[in-house]
Amino acid sequence: MRISVEMSHYPLTENFRKIQLVLGDLTQQNVEAIVNAANNALLGGGGVDGAIHRAAGQGLIEECRTLNGCETGDAKITKGYNLLAKHVIHTVGPVWRGGMRNEPELLASCYRRSLDVALENGIKTIAFPNISTGVYGFPKPEATKIAIQTVFDFLNSHNEIERIVFVCFDNENYSLYASNLGEIRQNFSCNC
């Protein structure tokens, strides 16, 4: 699979300032909403999902039970309970099955739908984990490109979002994000 960052996806200069990269724990982020890499049942699990439920407390699972699950590529919102973030936006990434089952489109849809839901709820600051790159096995380099490209595309057409934080839990993801963002920045300023 080849994913390229095309000229049409290049960000407007001011959008660079809205993107932050952090190596750390998503549950500790001071933003209005954190995004959960959940599963279709929305009833908790391992990885970042488990960490969010542990940090949020019992209220979160109770509210999740009322949501009737979530389709892959879609997103639903709850309150944040004991988290610093007032909201959790739960999205369901695709399980990697070799790349021919619409996985890239579904992953892009997770980022877009999460941002749609954020805007519908007046949320302007949002933190994402590296959706699908843990238990669901999506190759990290491709997932990184999709995440960055989709978020920049969204920012280019939606001015309301003020800050997006990519929170990486492992060094491999962090390095991939840092080099991709660095590359785009460099190419972009060359064309100014």
Residues annotated as catalytic (active site), given as ranges: 49
- Residue 160 touching ligand AR6 (CB under 6 A): no
- Residue with Cβ nearer ligand AR6 (11 or 52): 52
Q: Any idea how long the chain is?
A: 192
Cα→Cα distances 139→3, 14, 69, 98, 145, Å? 12, 30, 25, 9, 10
- Contact pattern for ligand AR6 over residues 81 through 110, marking x by CB under 6 A: ------------x-----------------
Among 131, 146, 148, 181, binds ligand AR6 (CB under 6 A): 131
The amino acid that residue 87 corresponds to is H
- Residue 174 touching ligand AR6 (CB under 6 A): no
Q: Which range of residues in 8-16, 57-65, 115-123, 130-138 is near ligand AR6 by CB under 6 A?
A: 130-138
For residues 182 and 186, give the distance between their C-alpha atoms in angstroms, rounded to a whole number: 6
Residue among 70, 77, 80 at smallest CA distance from 106: 70
Among 108, 125, 134, 142, binds ligand AR6 (CB under 6 A): 134
**What is the three-class DSSP state of 20?**
strand
The CB-of-97 to ligand AR6 minimum distance in angstroms stands at: 13
Among 1, 30, 46, 121, binds ligand AR6 (CB under 6 A): 46
- Residue 29 touching ligand AR6 (CB under 6 A): no
The CB-of-74 to ligand AR6 minimum distance in angstroms stands at: 14
- Residue 129 touching ligand AR6 (CB under 6 A): yes
* Residue 95 DSSP class: P
- Residue with Cβ nearer ligand AR6 (118 or 143): 143
171-190 vs 140-157: helix axis angle to the nearest 10?
50
B/e letters for 68-91, b = 16+ CB within 10 Å, e = fewer, are ebbebbbbbbbebbebebebbbbb
Contact residues toward ligand AR6 (CB under 6 A) are 25-27, 37-39, 45-49, 51, 93, 129-136, 167, 169-170, 173
